């Protein structure tokens, strides 16, 4: 007799080492862009549309690596003086690979690109509209 029931066997078979999101591309929405607690990088949070758990990535703010932050803003078509509201809800495609940090496996976001979203839904999100709003000009 198995020590795992059928559901536990299915869950174990589908599990990824360390619970890491599998490598690949994911359609996501940006949920936050905020200074990291040490103040030397921006923390980017992505919610995969497929329902996997949130993915975090960082871009540097120090002189040696701030060019990566500039590239991220440019890739997303956002001015350097933009606030978080310019990013939150934006549809993007992220590329995920596995790496290591202090000897432990981790998810590394190696690419982020803006993708075309539903224009009306995006506009409603930006203006804070709901489905009940009837005075929206689109």
User: Can you give the pLDDT at residue 13?
Assistant: 62
pLDDT at position 126, please? 57
CA–CA distances in Å: residue 126 to residues 46, 79, 87, 134: 18, 17, 10, 16
**Domains of the chain, CATH where assigned:** 19-127 (2.40.50.140)
**Contact 55/46 with Cβ under 8 angstroms?**
yes
Confirm whether pTM is higher than 0.85: no
* Digitized pLDDT (tens) for each residue of the chain, 138 residues in all: 677 777 777 666 665 555 788 899 999 999 999 998 888 999 999 999 888 889 999 999 999 999 999 999 999 999 999 999 999 999 999 999 999 888 888 889 999 999 986 555 555 655 666 666 666 555
């Amino acid at each position: 007799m198995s020590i795992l029931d059928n559901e536990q066997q299915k869950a174990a078979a589908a599990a990824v080492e360390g619970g890491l999101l599998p490598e690949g591309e994911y359609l996501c929405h940006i949920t936050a862009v905020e200074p990291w607690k040490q103040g030397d990088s921006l923390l980017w949070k992505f919610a995969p549309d497929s329902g996997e758990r949130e993915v975090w990535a960082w871009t540097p703010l120090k002189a040696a690596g701030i060019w990566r932050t500039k590239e991220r803003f440019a890739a997303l078509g956002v001015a350097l003086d933009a606030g978080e509201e310019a990013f939150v809800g934006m549809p993007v495609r992220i590329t995920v690979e596995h790496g290591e940090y202090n000897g432990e496996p981790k998810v590394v976001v190696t690419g982020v690109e803006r993708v075309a979203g539903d224009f009306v839904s995006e506009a409603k999100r930006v203006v804070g509209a709901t489905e009940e709003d009837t005075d929206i000009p689109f």
